[in-house]
């Protein structure tokens, strides 16, 4: 072999045991380029016929080996390019999948198109489809070739590769606010026209465009690409158009190959899905913020309406209280005068008159207390409250009246204790009001009517509420009156103030719950109290909740 070559098949008698596949490939390539071997083969020509045949066969074999070697090298180069392309697609795809910001998604996509080590085009512009317009959104690159060269040099000096640039985008540190972007964001192209971008989207096929061959539909783009070849790549998600990529090599002037176009389309398909997803995410966040704002306005308006409703109720109070207080005042005045006259008589004590006065004063005190309970703002003192315990405590207070009225108590409590955050004193007041109503309903004033009955107390849980039910077997309430029982001063009892149930509803409402009335088919009346299981539920109920 040639003097400069250090290996030769002719000098390697131990080749079978010592030559590895990689070494053999290297030696074969040396032999294919060895002039000495060619000379030996040519010298064999012209001698015996077998030598000539052997020489021709070796020549043909070595020629074929050279062809195979070139094909192998080309295949290796192609595989390396494919691996590089797949690595780029994978890196960009992963970055796109891990961002929820639409602008970051567009920047990462454009970095995959332009960054060194990636596809490496000199410039890329993205136009988003919004309604019936293509709108210039984001661009990477520069307006002039000199600016582009300086940018390339700066990136090379700082060692910024695709992965590092993507990290900058994710951290919000990547800056591309240059003249190219400022100009691009003035671009709007109607989709009703006949410009190249519109046709590319309509045909859903990417285009390699030669200079001055197409109208882009906007003066800035027409000036930018008047003397420059570029590619236009549509972005689609299934059958929905998303946007358009325009890219070029305005600095290097390197032609854009079919392989580059194929990789561009792959990236564009991936980017389209992520851009749509991120835009939907952004729109959803905006709608959520708007909904929360509207909800706050609604709560403010609701609070205003509640206050207005209470002011209206206070107006009704002003006209009704006079009537409610007038009767006991007249009685007090009359019996006070009778007591005074009785004192003028010797040995006469006005005991009966004073008892009536005391009773009417107590009635006034009760009416005044109920009016205050109904009209004033209440700050609740929230603490853990066991509903079963609250019911039992209230029953103990009226146990004497229950026994005298011949009423039986039937408890249907939940198997597990039910606990809520509530103002124990206020909830007990509501329960006592309901128990008083039930006792009076089953203790008729008419002596001929039978007294007694069953008072059923129930506790249970629903998905959002802790529920208490109080059911009596009294005469019940007609559907016409059931709608009025929570109105202030409405009562069917001769001695009632008509404020017990309105006050109860106010207390339950302040807890964020609700109280309703039912008339069971078997007769009687059922009151249902629902209290929120947690503060979050309470805050979403009418009236809200006030923390003391």
466, part of any domain: yes
Q: Is the dihedral of CA 428, 434, 437, 441 positive or negative?
A: negative
Confidence of residue 380 (pLDDT cuts 50, 70, 90): confident
Lowest mean pLDDT among 31-40, 197-206, 223-232, 513-522: 31-40
Give residue for tokens 């030996």: 40
Tell me the pairing of strands 407-412 and 453-461: parallel
pLDDT tens-place string over residues 205-248: 888 888 877 788 899 998 988 888 999 999 988 888 899 999 99
| Residue 44 sits in the same domain as residue 167 | no
Task: Using alpha carbons only, give the angle 136, 141, 144 rounded to the nearest 5 degrees.
Answer: 105
Q: pLDDT value at position 531?
A: 94
- Whether the per-residue pLDDT at 471 is higher than 80: the answer is yes
Q: Which two tokens stand for residue 280?
A: 């939907």
- Whether the per-residue pLDDT at 504 is higher than 60: the answer is yes
287, part of any domain: no
For the chain, give the percent of residues with pLDDT over 90.
18
| Residue 159 sits in the same domain as residue 68 | no
| Residue 154 sits in the same domain as residue 74 | no
Average pLDDT of the residues in 367-378: 67
Q: What CATH number is given to the structural domain containing 136?
A: 3.30.450.40
| Residue 183 sits in the same domain as residue 220 | yes
Dihedrals phi, psi of 385, to nearest 5 degrees: -135, 125
Average pLDDT of the residues in 174-179: 76
Q: Quick one: three-class SS letters along 428-454?
A: HHHHHHHHHHHHHHCCCCCCCCCCCEE
Number of Cβ within a 10 Å radius of residue 541: 19
Confidence of residue 455 (pLDDT cuts 50, 70, 90): very high
Query: 469 has which bridge partners?
Result: 458, 528
Q: pLDDT value at position 541?
A: 43
340, part of any domain: no
| Residue 256 sits in the same domain as residue 143 | yes
Q: pLDDT value at position 10?
A: 53
| Residue 267 sits in the same domain as residue 415 | no
| Residue 211 sits in the same domain as residue 274 | yes
Q: pLDDT value at position 178?
A: 81
328, part of any domain: no
Task: Using alpha carbons only, give the angle 64, 70, 74 rounded to the nearest 5 degrees.
Answer: 145
Cα–Cα distance, 292 to 298 (Å, whole number):
10
Distances 246 to 146, 208, 230, 270 between C-alpha atoms, Å: 20, 10, 7, 16
Cα–Cα distance, 106 to 125 (Å, whole number):
10
| Residue 143 sits in the same domain as residue 267 | yes
Cα–Cα distance, 23 to 30 (Å, whole number):
11
Q: Is the dihedral of CA 77, 80, 86, 90 positive or negative?
A: negative
Residues 6+ apart with CB under 8 A from 537: 464, 465, 512
Q: Is the dihedral of CA 109, 114, 115, 120 positive or negative?
A: positive
Termini Cα distance of the chain = 102
Cα–Cα distance, 333 to 345 (Å, whole number):
19
Q: pLDDT value at position 88?
A: 72
| Residue 183 sits in the same domain as residue 38 | no
| Residue 399 sits in the same domain as residue 429 | yes
Query: 245 has which bridge partners?
Result: 126, 233
- Whether the per-residue pLDDT at 17 is higher than 50: the answer is no
Average pLDDT of the residues in 527-545: 64
Q: Is 92 exposed, middle or buried (0-12, 13-18, 19+ CB in 10 A)?
A: buried
Confidence of residue 546 (pLDDT cuts 50, 70, 90): very low
H or E element at residue 366: helix 351-375
Number of Cβ within a 10 Å radius of residue 503: 23
Last residue of a domain, which of 282, 298, 317? Answer: 282
pLDDT tens-place string over residues 110-128: 888 887 656 778 899 999 9
Number of Cβ within a 10 Å radius of residue 407: 22
Give residue for tokens 């005391």: 358
Higher pLDDT, 494 or 364: 364
181, part of any domain: yes
**Residues 161, 117 contacting (CB under 8 angstroms):** yes
Alpha helix (H) residue ranges in 33-135: 35-44, 49-97, 102-114
431, part of any domain: yes
Average pLDDT of the residues in 4-17: 50
Q: Helix (H, G, I), strand (E, B), or coil: what is residue 483?
A: coil
Task: Using alpha carbons only, give the angle 446, 452, 454 rounded to the nearest 5 degrees.
Answer: 140
Q: How many CA atoms lie within 13 A of 281 on its CB side?
A: 15
- Whether the per-residue pLDDT at 97 is higher than 60: the answer is yes
Average pLDDT of the residues in 92-98: 77
Cα–Cα distance, 316 to 97 (Å, whole number):
63
- Whether the per-residue pLDDT at 540 is higher than 50: the answer is no
Distances 235 to 70, 109, 110, 221, 266 between C-alpha atoms, Å: 38, 11, 13, 19, 10
Q: pLDDT value at position 528?
A: 93
| Residue 106 sits in the same domain as residue 240 | yes
Last residue of a domain, which of 282, 297, 316? Answer: 282
Average pLDDT of the residues in 253-258: 87
407, part of any domain: yes
Q: pLDDT value at position 538?
A: 47
Q: Is 225 exposed, middle or buried (0-12, 13-18, 19+ CB in 10 A)?
A: buried
93, part of any domain: no
Q: Helix (H, G, I), strand (E, B), or coil: what is residue 124?
A: strand
H or E element at residue 309: helix 258-344
Q: Helix (H, G, I), strand (E, B), or coil: what is residue 193?
A: coil
Dihedrals phi, psi of 371, to nearest 5 degrees: -65, -45
Lowest mean pLDDT among 176-180, 220-224, 423-427: 176-180
Average pLDDT of the residues in 340-347: 75
Q: pLDDT value at position 24?
A: 56
Confidence of residue 159 (pLDDT cuts 50, 70, 90): low
Cα–Cα distance, 427 to 404 (Å, whole number):
25
For the chain, give the percent of residues with pLDDT over 70.
73
Q: pLDDT value at position 358?
A: 81
Give the chain's domain count.
3
Cα–Cα distance, 429 to 531 (Å, whole number):
15
- Whether the per-residue pLDDT at 291 is higher than 50: the answer is yes
**Residues 187, 221 contacting (CB under 8 angstroms):** yes
**Residues 191, 134 contacting (CB under 8 angstroms):** yes
Q: pLDDT value at position 2?
A: 46
| Residue 172 sits in the same domain as residue 70 | no
Higher pLDDT, 136 or 307: 136
Mean pLDDT of the chain: 78
- Whether the per-residue pLDDT at 495 is higher than 60: the answer is no
Q: Which domain holds residue 468?
A: 377-548
Cα–Cα distance, 104 to 136 (Å, whole number):
15
Cα–Cα distance, 366 to 360 (Å, whole number):
10
Query: 466 has which bridge partners?
Result: 461, 531
Q: pLDDT value at position 22?
A: 54
**Residues 224, 125 contacting (CB under 8 angstroms):** no
Average pLDDT of the residues in 386-402: 90
CA 488 to chain centre: 43
Higher pLDDT, 92 or 258: 258
Q: What CATH number is given to the structural domain containing 433?
A: 3.30.565.10
Lowest mean pLDDT among 12-21, 97-106, 299-308, 327-336: 12-21
pTM for this prediction: 0.46
- Whether the per-residue pLDDT at 460 is higher than 90: the answer is yes
Strand order in the sheet with 188-190: 188-190, 133-140, 123-130, 240-248, 230-237, 207-209
Higher pLDDT, 304 or 405: 405
Last residue of a domain, which of 232, 255, 282? Answer: 282
């Amino acid at each position: 072999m040639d003097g400069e070559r250090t290996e030769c098949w002719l000098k390697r008698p131990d080749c079978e045991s010592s030559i590895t596949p990689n070494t053999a490939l290297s030696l074969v390539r040396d032999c294919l380029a060895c002039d000495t071997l060619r000379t030996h083969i040519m010298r064999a020509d012209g001698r015996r016929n077998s030598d000539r045949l052997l020489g021709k066969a070796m020549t043909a074999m070595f020629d074929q080996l050279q062809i195979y070697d070139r094909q192998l090298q080309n295949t290796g180069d192609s595989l390396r390019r494919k691996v590089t392309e797949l690595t780029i697609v994978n890196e960009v795809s992963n970055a796109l999948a891990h961002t929820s910001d639409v602008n970051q998604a567009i920047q990462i996509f454009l970095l995959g198109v332009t960054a060194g080590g990636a596809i490496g085009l000199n410039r890329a512009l993205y136009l988003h489809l919004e309604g019936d317009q293509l709108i210039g959104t984001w661009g990477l690159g520069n307006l002039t070739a000199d600016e582009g060269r300086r940018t390339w040099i700066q990136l090379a000096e700082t060692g910024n590769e695709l992965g590092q640039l993507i990290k900058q985008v994710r951290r919000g540190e990547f800056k591309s606010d240059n003249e190219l972007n400022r100009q691009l964001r003035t671009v709007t192209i109607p989709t009703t026209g006949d410009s190249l971008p519109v046709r590319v989207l309509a045909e859903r096929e990417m285009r390699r465009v030669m200079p001055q061959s197409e109208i882009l539909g906007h003066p800035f783009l027409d000036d930018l690409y008047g003397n420059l070849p570029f590619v236009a790549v549509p972005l689609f998600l299934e059958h929905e158009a998303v946007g358009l990529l325009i890219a070029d090599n305005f600095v290097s002037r390197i032609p854009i190959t079919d392989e580059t176009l194929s990789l561009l389309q792959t990236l564009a398909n991936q980017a389209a899905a992520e851009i749509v997803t991120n835009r939907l995410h952004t729109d959803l966040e905006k709608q959520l913020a708007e909904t929360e704002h509207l909800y706050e306005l609604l709560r403010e308006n609701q609070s205003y309406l509640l206050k207005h409703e209470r002011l209206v109720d206070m107006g009704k109070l002003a006209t009704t209280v006079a009537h409610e207080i007038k009767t006991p005042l007249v009685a007090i005045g009359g019996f006070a005068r009778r007591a005074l006259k009785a004192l003028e008589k010797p040995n006469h004590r006005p005991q009966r008159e004073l008892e009536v006065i005391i009773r009417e004063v107590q009635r006034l005190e009760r009416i005044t207390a109920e009016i205050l309970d109904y009209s004033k703002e209440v700050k609740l003192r929230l603490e853990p409250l066991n509903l079963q315990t609250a019911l039992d405590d209230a029953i103990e207070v009226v146990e004497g009246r229950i026994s005298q009225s011949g009423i039986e108590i039937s408890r249907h409590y939940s198997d597990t204790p039910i606990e809520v955050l509530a103002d124990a004193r206020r909830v007990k007041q509501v329960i006592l009001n309901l128990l008083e109503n039930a006792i009076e309903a089953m203790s008729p004033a008419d002596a001929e009517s039978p007294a007694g009955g069953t008072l059923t107390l129930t506790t249970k849980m629903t998905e959002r509420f802790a529920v208490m039910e109080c059911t009596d077997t009294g005469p019940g309430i007609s559907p016409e009156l059931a709608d009025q029982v929570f109105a202030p001063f409405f009562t069917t009892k001769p001695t009632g103030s008509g404020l017990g149930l309105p006050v109860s509803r106010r207390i339950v409402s302040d807890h964020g719950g609700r109280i309703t009335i039912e008339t069971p088919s078997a007769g009687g009346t059922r009151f249902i109290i629902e209290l929120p299981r947690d503060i979050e539920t309470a805050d979403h109920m009418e009236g809200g909740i006030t923390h003391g």
